[in-house]
Amino acid sequence: ILPSKVTHLVVRKPPKFHFKPGDYVYINIPIVAKYEWHPFSISSAPENSEFIWLHIKTCGNWTKRLYTFASSSRFD
């Protein structure tokens, strides 16, 4: 959780996944909404070989539920 209601999501990069600046990914988090997929710009550098970073601003129902869940002690 970051200031201004931003969720910093760190995801392990799949094998052979490559991206360049400006690329985005669709993510689904079933505990937030089982059948909803949302696009987010990748905010990490392509050189980061192990993880993908996403910075998600809370501005709608889905991102609000994500922020609330990420703020809870159940999130890992």
pLDDT digits (tens, 9 = 90+) for 28-67: 999 999 999 999 999 999 887 899 999 999 999 999 999 9
Tell me the C-alpha to C-alpha distance, in Å, between residue 6 and each of 14, 15, 64: 24, 27, 10
pTM of the model: 0.89
